[in-house]
Amino acid sequence: MEHFTDEQIAAKKKTIFDAMGKRGQKQVMKIGYDKWDPIQNPKDPIDIRKDKTNRTSQMLIREFLQQSSHEGSNSFAQGAFEMCLGIINENEKILGMFEFAKWYANLVENEINS
pLDDT in tens, 69-98: 887 678 998 999 999 999 988 899 999 999
Shared domain check, 28 and 51: no
Do 60 and 51 form a contact (C-beta atoms < 8 A)? Answer: yes
**What is the band of 1 on the pLDDT scale with cuts at 50, 70, 90?**
very low
Same domain, 32 and 50: no
Do residues 36 and 70 both lie within one domain? no
Residue ranges of the alpha helices (H) in 20-91? 22-31, 57-67, 74-88
Residue 97 and residue 87: Cα distance in Å, rounded? 10
Q: Are residues 36 and 52 in the same domain?
A: no
Q: What are phi and psi of 56, to 5 degrees?
A: -80, 165
Tell me: the pLDDT tens digits for 17-67?
888 889 988 988 998 988 888 877 666 565 577 888 888 888 999 999 889
Do 5 and 30 lie in a common domain? yes
Domain that holds residue 106: 46-112
